[in-house]
Amino acid sequence: MDIVRTERGLRKVIWGWRGSGDRIVFVPTMGALHEGHLTLVRLARKRGERVVVSIFVNPTQFAPGEDLDAYPRTEIEDARLLEAEGVDLIYVPDPQTMYDVHHATGVTVGGVAKGLETDYRPTFFDGVALVVTKLFNRVQPDTAVFGEKDYQQLATIRRLVDDLDMPIKIVGAPIARDEHGLALSSRNAYFDADGLALARKLNGIMKNCASDMRDGQHVDKATDAAKAALLEAGFLSVDYVEVRSPNSLTVLEGGYLDGPARVLVAAHCPNGDSSVRLIDNFAV
């Protein structure tokens, strides 16, 4: 397994693979890898001959006051895990070469990227779209794998690729969860025992919301009940509990389920003297 830190070194490897006709599958990450990331890598292994994983904590998707500096960085352990999974190359770009002092270009996606997360993190998907575009241009993959846990992000990247005619297939991987149903996340490492126990209640409340709607309950009533249940359980606040169309992320018309939908949740879980913002979603 190679670890490459320069764009020139990356392109040299990619060109060699292209010359051999190998299909390249890409898994972009911010590091601090866990079993959820490894499920993406295993799926990528089935989609092509070469797997590239990037590790880059992208500053443009963090707003002022968010946890950029505190975000866990575990490159040595990440490399060990990826080597054990048979990854061919790890790309670890330097932030100064990703965004040099003259950088002046942005990428903005509308539609699916508006609302939900951007009601609370207005510049988040601008940062995601920018870094993913740059990474796609550098890695030049045939396929890229993203997790469904960040469901709006997945929809945004699909929109980006389609709108800009990028010849890349986007594959969504099912959410990896622990034995209690908590979606695996790098930020789970922040939790103490009490915070972790509370966080694990989110999945059950989300499932109950989906079940109520399948049984014919109005969407507004079901989501209001889910918000109340989260606060009663001990969550500090709820940014949203929304039910949207699974592809367009548009609001359901009529207020009742008449086909597939997605419950999307963001809530703040207390953890000692601070809190951890959890996002999750569930297919209905």
Mean pLDDT of 43-70: 91
Q: Classify domain 2-173 by CATH number.
A: 3.40.50.620
On whether the CB atoms of residues 166 and 158 are closer than 8 A, the answer is no
Strands 143-147 and 89-91: unpaired
Q: What is the reported pTM?
A: 0.95
Q: What percent of the chain has pLDDT over 90?
A: 90
pLDDT of the residue at 199: 97
Give catalytic status of residue 37 as yes or no. Answer: yes
The pair phi, psi for residue 91, each rounded to 5°, is -110, 120
Q: Which of 37, 102, 218, 268 is catalytic?
A: 37
Out of 83-87, 136-140, 247-251, least confident range: 247-251
Containing 199, the helix (H) or strand (E) segment is: helix 193-199
Rounded CA-CA distance 29/32 in Å is 9
> Do the Cβ atoms of 168 and 145 come closer than 8 Å?
no
pLDDT > 80? residue 7: yes
At 1 the pLDDT is 85
Taking only the tens place, the pLDDT of each residue in 134-154 is: 999 999 999 999 999 999 999
Query: Which stretches within 7-150 are classed as H helix?
Result: 7-19, 35-45, 75-84, 95-98, 124-139
For the domain made up of 186-283, give the CATH fold. Pantoate--beta-alanine Ligase; Chain: A,domain 2 (3.30.1300)
Domain ranges in the chain? 2-173, 186-283
| Distance separating alpha carbons of residues 90 and 80, to the nearest angstrom | 11
